[in-house]
Structure 1
Amino acid sequence: MADEASELMRLLWGPHPQPKRGPKPALTLAGIARAGIEIADAEGLAALSMQRVAELLGKTKMSLYRYVPGRAELVALMVEAAITAPPEATGVVAAAEGDWRARLTTWSHSLVEVFVGHPWLLDATVGPRLMGPKELAWMEQALAALDGTGLTGAERMDAVVLLTSHVRGIALQARAATPSSGPEGRLLAALGEVLREHGEHYPALLAATTSAAEPGAQDQALAFGLARILDGLGALIAERAESPAA
């Protein structure tokens, strides 16, 4: 187990020494990860296997094991390759420096885009595991946005977990939606026939879905939930500012 963890650490964090002599390696870790991403993007993570990746690369499965010891390590490499740099690293929110709320809003919207762009990431980033540099950079940026707010380190970690959970929930709903209908539209369609027949037994639900069916009222859950989470953090930050000794 320790050897496996050490190997995964090397794959994600390096170094990746190149042979000084002999023929150039036939494959690269980046190329292997891209092949895995291609399969997972098209068919989902369940379709991924070392055999499928080897076939896509025109190699044998045994030759692939010279570079990546197994599927778990392959998935870890794919996660690191698929995740983009966090928004501040690309200058997107440089103007919001010091504005924790604006920074976390941009961070959350950007993270949703990552998950929507590669839906299999929702399955690959569950549970305790070794993370790569880019994934840790996302966590670092969110925590740094809360510097100077008076929140403890543990509270800042909890805030990031809360934001990430909200983002993942929205991305999960988006994964189940169709291109012509967002997640709320699909839910309303599924409920429509039942409520037409039995709506009198569920008056609150009928009223809510009728309102949600109005133009412009759907698929606002990301912004609504994010605003409520940040409102709560803002209230706690203001409370700490009023009683700093607490």
Structure 2
Amino acid sequence: MEPVDAASPPPRQHLVDLLWRPPNTPRRGPRPTLTLDAIARAGIVIADADGLGAVTMQRVAESLGVTKMALYRYVPGKTELVALMIETGIGEPPALPTDLPWRDRLDAWARQMYDRFRRHPWAVAATVGVRVMGPNELGWMERAVAALEGTRLHGGEKLDVVVLLVGHVRNLAQQVAAIDTDTPERAMEPGLSALLRGHERRFPALLAAVASSAAQDGQDQALDFGLSRILDGVQMLVTDRAAS
């Protein structure tokens, strides 16, 4: 890549411009042969198959039938490429029916976010830390915060509710991706049973829980259980706030 001259905006502004530029905005230079959406989707295909570490400018360029230097005309580097992949992979936020109670809306919101992370496990690691977020990602936050309107929770509490839900969804999606199954309880049970064999006196409570889970066919309740407990707690706060 050519060095950035003193008149160029800082890298952060480059990323803001890339993510927030309106679609089909005219650009200087030769007529583009690629779109940012096509580039992002090419990266997503690689990341879905082989993980985020496998995504390189060279590999994406090859999948698109262009040179790496040609790809740099559209995307300055991997940081920007991954940001575009997040925007495209997560997609636009879901439309939540306004006639539903806030709890039902947040439950539906969290489940749809979980579905996006399950489809694109690499997005869990890609969406951490301080970074520039695009309109789709912020749109998801907007939907969740808007669902809490009328609850008398203040702004900080609304954001904390979103953080709790996202944390549960991200953690479960990461665990499920690591064991490559939709039923984490069923996947864990055989390994735990083998480890506990011969150590029953040391881990009686754990052994009983594993045996009980196995008797229930290892039913996958992790997502449901976590969402219910989080929303139960929020419901108590909302009810107390309304009564005060």
Scaled by the length of structure 2, what TM-score is found? Answer: 0.91
Structure 2 residue matching 1:199: 3-state secondary structure:
coil
Identity %: 53
Letter in 2 for 1:183: P
The residue type paired with residue 130 of structure 1 is V
Residue 231 of structure 2 is aligned to residue 224 of structure 1? no
* Cα distance in 1, alignment partners of residues 27 and 222 from structure 2: 51
The answer to whether 1:211 aligns with 2:218 is no
State the alpha-carbon separation in 2 of the partners of residues 106 and 182 from structure 1: 20
Q: 1:129 to 1:200 in 2, by over 3 A?
A: same
Task: Name the residue aligned to 1:138.
Answer: 140
- Displacement of 1:57 in angstroms is 1.1
Two-structure CA RMSD over aligned residues (Å): 1.8
Alignment of 1:145-156 (within 5 A): 145-156=147-158
2:25 is aligned, of 17, 23, 34, to: 17
1:43-122 paired onto structure 2 within 5 Å: 43-88=50-95, 93-94=96-97, 97-122=99-124
Give 5+ residue unaligned stretches, structure 1: none
Partners of 1:189 and 1:138 in 2: CA distance: 37
Residue 2 of structure 1: how far off its partner (Å)? 5.5
Q: Aligned partners of 2:173, 2:183: CA distance in 1, in Å? A: 11
1:157 correspondence with 2:164: no
Structure 2 CA distance for aligned equivalents of residues 7 and 217 of structure 1: 48
Which deviations, in whole Å up to 9, do the C-alpha atoms of 1:21-76 show, x marking residues without a partner? x8532222111111101100100001111111111111111111111101000000
Aligned residues: 236
| Contact 1:185–1:218 (CA under 8 A) maintained in structure 2 | yes
Is the aligned partner of 1:29 residue 2:36?
yes
String of CA shifts for 1:159-189, please: whole Å, max 9, x gaps. Answer: 100110001111011101234x721122112
Question: What's the offset of the Cα at 1:214?
Answer: 2.1
For residues 189 and 199 of structure 2, the distance between their equivalents in structure 1, rounded to whole angstroms, comes to: 14
Deviation, 1:217, is: 4.6
Q: Give the counterpart letter for 1:17 in structure 2.
A: T
Unaligned 5+ residue runs, structure 2? 1-7
Summarize the Cα distance change of 1:213–1:128 in structure 2 as closer, same or farther, 3 Å threshold: same
Q: Kindly provide the amino acid, as one letter, of the partner of residue 177 in structure 1.
A: I
User: In the alignment, is the contact (CA less than 8 A) between 2:193 and 2:207 conserved in 1?
Assistant: no
Normalised TM-score (structure 1): 0.90
Q: Could you tell me which of 166, 171, 174 is aligned with 2:176?
A: 174
Q: Is the 8 A contact 2:186 2:218 kept in 1?
A: no
